[in-house]
Amino acid sequence: MSGRWVLVFTALLASAAGAAPLYPKQDCSAVLASASAFHQCYADNLAAANRALNDLYAQLMSQKVFYVGSREGLRDVERAWIVYKDKECDYEYGAPSANRSEDYWLAHADCEIRVTDQRIRELQDRPSCQGGDSVCTPHMR
């Protein structure tokens, strides 16, 4: 891995350390010496980010009453967000292809983690309903 990318990833990990964790995330800086362990760490963190987003989405979809929008609206927005995430990371790092370097894959995974973390925060900050079948008492998290 090039020295430039090691510095970029180390800086990103350090900046993320100050924020409250959205889900259990490994500290990939602890395995910088091994490229395969570093790659696995990023793959595990991306999987954890996706699980956290999917869990939150399922929780929101299970609401009986929506404060704003609807179950179908949330589903449509999430489908559009998935397309956005892919296009955003392709824009930042180029579209995936078989001849990309390991630095590319790590940067692309980092982008996907960052964009997914942003989406988790957006969904957590939206009004949601607590209550019965027909009463909606909105609250902000």
Greatest pairwise CA separation for the chain in angstroms: 57
- Residue 137 confidence (pLDDT): 55
CATH of the domain at 105: 1.20.1270.180
Is 50 among the domain residues? yes
12 vs 5, 113, 114, 138, CA distance in Å?
Answer: 10, 11, 10, 35
Mean pLDDT (whole number) for 88-106 = 82
Check whether 51 has a pLDDT greater than 70: yes
Quote the domain boundaries for residue 98: 3-14+24-127
73 vs 45, 79, 99, 104, 120, CA distance in Å?
Answer: 28, 10, 38, 34, 17
Check whether 86 has a pLDDT greater than 80: yes
More confident residue, 80 or 22: 80
Is 88 among the domain residues? yes
- Amino acid 98 reads A
Is 136 among the domain residues? no
> Whole-angstrom Cα distance, residue 111 to residue 90?
9
Average pLDDT, the chain: 80
> Whole-angstrom Cα distance, residue 117 to residue 50?
9
Give the global pTM: 0.74
Is 133 among the domain residues? no
